[in-house]
Structure 1
């Protein structure tokens, strides 16, 4: 299975590379092969591996199925059946299971979290595998929100460097060192918030 996973990963990366290059060169093009790739067992297996390696795989959706239960029955059978349902048009997403989790820093308050079934998470993951490189090719280099390998710390670092470049033409206290001090203070606040927020960690585990 590990060998199959490595082979699938190489093949998927090749498809993603093609999609990125095509999207970069032809931003207004139509994508006619997407359904064939989406329902390809190699894409579904790769999406399954991502779901199965996430600790949220221990959490079931409305059908009560977890990654462990699926493996006990047959991982291959699960994927083959899912592929057949997608290709025949029989696949229908299930409702998300609603769970209330505590709001950070607000004792007694909760917010709803929707937990999809493992089956739906695999389909969502397969769609993401194919759409991500298409949209990545269109993003500005300064776009940091909800992108692989990018986060708020990267955005702050970009601002810090931009401030440094401009500080030579500004008087002290405008951008330059004053801006850096503000950014560092914000980073400390962000780290404290993330470390003291079990709700955020719990929500991330179920994505």
Structure 2
């Protein structure tokens, strides 16, 4: 969730969401959508995207252009679409990266606008997802990594748990039914109020994931 660079107000929001989700597994969150376009959440989402750099999307807009225009003004205009529930993601720019075996790996590049919106959604939703995930899960979780997973595997082997199941899902994000995103996500039991714009943000994440495994 938060770290030293996360603004205090955003940290407090994340901690409150996580604590509530952890304490009440069946709690229904009805007032999450307005948190995504909060000024401090969008500003931190922009800062995270800025630190990750990345190439421009289909509109070719880069960080230099945004900063020349004025970050605060740009974020204020960006907030209007989700606030008015008219947000729709832009098309994804697809490029292909050569692999060592001679094949090409597809890479999906979203616009800065979409990246910031998706990151803002992640800042709000991740603390709730974290409360629902089992402690044995290490992939794509904040503060966890593959090295920690290896250590746990070693500990379990020493305890005599020697059966291993190796499985992989082919093209999961490319084949998931995005029309049923709320029903498919691990937090669906909490019955969030999925508004159309939030569904669009979630589907945009899945669209990018299907070509570049964007999901954190």
TM-score (norm 2): 0.70
Unaligned runs of 5+ in 2: 165-211
RMSD (CA atoms):
2.3
Aligned counterparts of 1:21 and 1:91: Cα–Cα separation in 2: 29
Aligned counterparts of 1:90 and 1:144: Cα–Cα separation in 2: 35
Aligned counterparts of 1:25 and 1:161: Cα–Cα separation in 2: 29
- Could you tell me which of 69, 80, 84 is aligned with 1:88? 84
CA drift of 1:204 comes to: 8.7
More helix by share: 1
Cross-structure match for 2:136: 142
Cross-structure match for 1:26: 24
CA drift of 1:151 comes to: 2.2
CA drift of 1:90 comes to: 2.9
Aligned residues: 164
Q: Do structure 1's residue 106 and structure 2's residue 101 form an aligned pair?
A: yes
Give runs of aligned pairs for residues 19-168 of structure 1, distance below 5 A.
19-56=17-54, 59-103=55-99, 105-107=100-102, 109-166=103-160
Aligned counterparts of 1:96 and 1:204: Cα–Cα separation in 2: 13
Which has the higher Rg, Structure 1 or Structure 2? 1
* SS of the residue 1:100 aligns to: strand
* SS of the residue 1:113 aligns to: strand
Q: Do structure 1's residue 14 and structure 2's residue 46 form an aligned pair?
A: no
Deviations 1:162-202 (A, max 9, x none): 223449xxxxxxx6xxx9xxxxxxxxxxxxxxxxxxxxxxx
CA drift of 1:100 comes to: 0.5
CA drift of 1:9 comes to: 1.1
CA drift of 1:30 comes to: 1.5
* SS of the residue 2:139 aligns to: coil
Unaligned runs of 5+ in 1: 168-174, 180-202
